[in-house]
A and B are shown apart, each in its own frame.
Chain A
Amino acid sequence: MHIRRKASSGTMQSSDLMVTVEPSDLLQIEIESTVKKQFEHLIRAQITATLEHLGVTTGRIQISDRGALDYAIAARIETAIRRASEE
């Protein structure tokens, strides 16, 4: 999938996250999280795996995490990417 426009998904509720994606020539991942110190590497790994799975290679991905589990991170990213790639 290809990011054609800016799009968001998710909420700022506990156990959720907000994802904003927009077009970019590079792949940039920016993470802000309530549990950044302990879990940034795991969050980044989950984001990278989801992007790979969706075939996304470029774009600016901003995450504002409120302690979401992997399944929620993957779902919110997929939603944002699908919204951003709609024709």
Chain B
Amino acid sequence: MKLRRSLLYVPGNMPGMLQNIPVFEADGVMIDLEDAVPLQEKDAARLLSRNFLRFYQNRNKEMFVRINPLDTPYAAADLREILPALPDGIRLPKADNPEIVERLDTLLTEQEEKLNLEIGHFKIIPSIESAQGVLNCVETAKASNRIVALAFGAEDYTASMEIDRTKTGEELFSARTRVVWAAKAAGVQVIDTIFSDVNDMDALRAETTLVKRLGFTGKSLVNPRQIEVVHDVFRPTPEEIENAVEVMEAIKRAREMGTGVISLRGKMVDAPVVTRAARTLRAAVAFGMIEYTLSDEVIHGEK
């Protein structure tokens, strides 16, 4: 599975920002044609982003484009101009229900046929960013095979709830939890909302730590300076890795003794503990922190 810890928004109408994309160390970039672009510049942003995607041939990260919502007059032109320049996928704003995602899926299929691409080439990250969207996200997450992740958008969500967004985020707790449930049940990744105060790295770290605990696998970012903090939080700690290795050794001993459960420093190690340890080790390997070969036999036992 691809790492998507950090998805950085870059305004689609600013050449000075676009051409820095190759040096940003985010896992992915989302070129924004929606909120970062005023109405009278939609046409300009579209062509600039299209040309940039064509120019940026040797890509070192995933490239998504946030188009305008499908119910606006801009979305069709966004897709028509952008898709031939081959982004990896579309970040779909206002994915309030599964039908909206299904509509985008159909439009993408049409373009893939036209461009002679494999069906399913373009991925979708639906943004869950309203009360309606949160209520429907369990179905939305399963609306298309193209979905690689659900994204939560707190700015629009709090607007739809007629509440203020705080730095500690208590008001987002239920919505975030539901979006995570929906994503996990559908077997896709789940990306948390942006954190807009680019000078408050402590609060960004606290929020990222919280959402990691809830189950989020990544975060949307508004500034490249936020990348490092987010990567740091999502990286397993040396203690977590050490513990995971010990769990694996313990369960190996247990399996040799013909059992599926064993005690490690007074704590029970059984199947769910092993599954979590395996996830930590996979992440550590993905981050290049350790070399480790996981065997299914050790994780699940011999059949």
Give A contacts to B, CB under 8 Å. Answer: 9-10, 13-16, 68-72, 74-76, 78-79, 82-83
CA of A13 to CA of B19, assembled, Å: 13
CA of A72 to CA of B47, assembled, Å: 9
Can you give 28 contacting A-B residue pairs, CB < 8 Å?
A: A9-B44, A10-B44, A13-B14, A13-B15, A14-B16, A15-B19, A68-B15, A69-B15, A69-B19, A70-B55, A71-B15, A71-B51, A71-B52, A71-B54, A71-B55, A72-B15, A72-B48, A72-B52, A74-B51, A75-B47, A75-B48, A75-B50, A75-B51, A76-B48, A78-B47, A82-B43, A82-B47, A83-B43
CA of A3 to CA of B19, assembled, Å: 29
* B interface bracket (residues with beta carbon within 8 Å of A): 10 to 19
CA of A69 to CA of B19, assembled, Å: 9
CA of A10 to CA of B44, assembled, Å: 8
> Which residues of chain B have C-beta atoms less than 8 A from A79's C-beta?
43-44, 47-48
B44 touching A75, Cβ below 8 Å: yes
CA of A14 to CA of B16, assembled, Å: 6
Q: How far is the CB of B24 from chain A (nearest CB, A)?
A: 15
* Chain B residues numbered 25-69 whose CB sits less than 8 Å from any CB in chain A: 43-44, 47-48, 50-52, 54-55
B16 touching A13, Cβ below 8 Å: yes
> Which residues of chain B have C-beta atoms less than 8 A from A14's C-beta?
16
